[in-house]
Amino acid sequence: MRDTIKNRKHFDRLHSHFSALFNEWYDEYLKIKNGENTTGAKIDGYCGSMVLDFQRVFYLEYSMGLPKIELTKNQHILFEALLGYWTAKSGAYNYIFFVLCYAIIFNIPKDEITPVLDLLTKENYKDFVLDSMANYLIPDFEVRTEELKFRKSTKPVAEVIELAQMDKSKAVKRLKHYLEKEWFNMRKDGLMHNKSHLMDEKKHYVYLGYWCIEAATLVIMFDLDDTILKDCKYYPYDLVHGQSHS
């Protein structure tokens, strides 16, 4: 176990629940794709649900202590689902942000990630953080803007990116400050709800573990020395170093 807030029973229950949901959405997606679904359901709805529940299972499995190599199950479905769901109009910034972080952490091959990056170009979706991650994955992808779609939540990440290109030591210190003073307070909305671990676990399927996936992404992108980050509460150290915890 990597998480220290909830017990194994909690994570086993949620893992079973969201894994089953993911498989259910995928089965329905395949029925529509193969022309076997006659309910009139739209394929993009199932794709969006698959992306969301993939993330939930990913965070749960990391919290449970699985080795890094075991967190890559169904990744081909993740990319396929994002392609079937994501548009600039959908406004699901967190979805494509997660997928790009995931691609960097797991060193996804160019041919697999290119269709996802093509979405940014096709949708004319410009964001400094996303463009910077895309540029890392495929250097031919140009950083097209210095603007941020969601400045309040992504400014710290942008600042680390800018610092890392000039002074890696300062970048790590900025990242440490983000982890210790800012990240958790920004979790009031979205996939990981602030203080959700205080809710009655028998009534809610909420707490997945608190892990700042972008911190691991930035360390990998810029080959930062993460020694001073190892003991930061929300830093997913093992996503960089591949260790497991029983």
pLDDT in tens, 114-126: 999 999 999 999 9
pLDDT in tens, 46-55: 999 999 999 9
Beta-carbon contacts of residue 125 (< 8 Å; ≥ 6 apart): 88, 119, 149
Share of residues in the chain with pLDDT > 90 (%): 83
- Give the Cα separation of 32 and 19 in Å (integer): 20
**Are residues 95 and 82 in contact, defined by beta-carbon separation less than 8 angstroms?**
yes
Q: What is the DSSP letter of 65?
A: T
Average pLDDT over residues 214-226: 98
- pLDDT at residue 92 greater than cutoff 70: yes
Average pLDDT, the chain: 93
**Are residues 88 and 123 in contact, defined by beta-carbon separation less than 8 angstroms?**
yes
Q: What pLDDT is recorded for position 38? A: 64
Long-range contacts of 236-242 (CB under 8 A, 24+ apart): 236/62, 236/211, 236/212, 238/2, 238/62, 238/67, 238/68, 239/62, 239/68, 239/105, 239/211, 239/213, 240/105, 240/216, 242/67, 242/68, 242/69
Q: How many Cα atoms are found within 13 Å in the side-chain-facing hemisphere of 25?
A: 25
- Give the Cα separation of 213 and 198 in Å (integer): 22
pLDDT grade for 189, boundaries at 50, 70 and 90: low
Q: Which residue type is seen at 170? A: K
Q: What pLDDT is recorded for position 194? A: 66
pLDDT grade for 6, boundaries at 50, 70 and 90: very high
Q: Which residue type is seen at 186? A: M
Q: What is the DSSP letter of 186?
A: G
- pLDDT at residue 200 greater than cutoff 90: no
Q: What pLDDT is recorded for position 16? A: 96
**Are residues 61 and 210 in contact, defined by beta-carbon separation less than 8 angstroms?**
no
Report if pTM > 0.85: yes
